[in-house]
Amino acid sequence: MKRKVCNDNPNAGLSFLYNTKAGRIILKPIVKSNMISSLTGRFLDLKISKILIKPFIKKHNINMDDYENKNYESFNDFFIRKVKKGKRIVDKKMDHLISPCDGKLTVHKISKDLVFKVKNSFYSINSVLKNKRLSSLFTNGYALVFRLSPEDFHRYVFIDDGKIMDNYKIDGLFHSVNPISYDNFKVFKENQRECTYIKTKNFSDVMYIEVGALLVGKIKNNIKKGYVKKGMEKGYFMYGGSTIIILLKDKTVKIDNDILKNSKNGFETCVKCGEKIGKKSN
C-alpha cells in the first residue's frame, strides 16, 4: 500500500497568532478562556451554524461521498459526521496494528528516560500522563502521534480487543495542534486531554491520549470501562483540530517502514481509520 506524505501549510490566521508578538498577546486569553471555548461550542450547536457547512466543505475539499447522507442540524452535527458503511475498512487480522483514526501520523521513540521529541519540543511521558506508575510502562517504547485537521473524519476506534483498566481527564488549555504551535508551546502537556489505559490482547499495555485543541476540541468518549473490541468506536472530537497519542510498550510492535522513514525525516504520513500501520512483534 502506497501512502502519501502530508504536511499542512499553516493558514495566515495561525501564522499571525503563533509567529507575531501581537498575535501571541491575542492568543493568550483565547487558549486559557473556557468562556470563549464554551461560547464557540454553543454557537456551533445552534441551527443557524448550518450556514458554515457548505463553505467549510468547499474550503477543505471534503469528499462528502464518504459520509452518510443526512440533514445536519448544526455545524457540530456535521463535524462529527459518520462515514458510510464500507468507506473505512478495519483490518481484522489480530496481529496487525491499525490506525485509530483518519489523520497525519508521526512515530517517536521513547527513550529510557521516558522522553520523546516532536519537532523541537521534548516531552516526558509523565508530563503528558500525569501518572508515574503508568508512565513507567513505556520505557523504550513508541509514541504514535495522530494529528487530525479540521477537515478530517473526527471519530476514532479501539486498535485491539482488550479491557479498559483506567480512564481520567486532565484539564488544560486549547492550543492549536498544527505543527506551527510546536516550537513555542508544549501542547501535548498543556492542552486538555483524556487518558485511557487498556490491557490489550495482542499489544500488551496501551495508553490512549486524546488531546483537545483550539477553540473547542471537546473530547467525547463513549466507553470508559469494561471490555472492548478492535474497530469498535471509542469516541469523537467536537469542532477543532485534535490529536490522538497512542503509547506502546517496547518490543510489542513493528511499525511499517514507510511510516518510520517519514517520521525520521520529519514528515507526517496520511493514514485512514482502520488501516494497518504495523504488526505485532514476534
Cell numbers representing residue 173 in the block: 488549555
CB 228 within 8 A of CB 181: no
| Alpha-carbon span 98 to 63, nearest angstrom | 23
CB 107 within 8 A of CB 143: yes
| Alpha-carbon span 36 to 22, nearest angstrom | 19
CB 236 within 8 A of CB 80: yes
Q: What ranges make up the beta strands (E) of 4-151? A: 96-98, 103-109, 115-118, 121-124, 142-148
3-state secondary structure of 194: strand
Interior CA angle at 120 toward 114 and 125, to 5°?
Answer: 20
Q: Which of 102, 152, 160, 256 is catalytic?
A: 102
| 242 noted as active-site residue | yes
CB burial of residue 4 (10 Å; 0-12, 13-18, 19+): exposed
In sequence order, which residues have a C-beta less than 8 Å from that of residue 226 and are 6 or more positions away?
A: 163, 164
Q: Which of 37, 135, 242, 263 is catalytic?
A: 242
Strands 242-248, 269-271: pairing kind: unpaired
- Residues recognised as catalytic: 102, 242
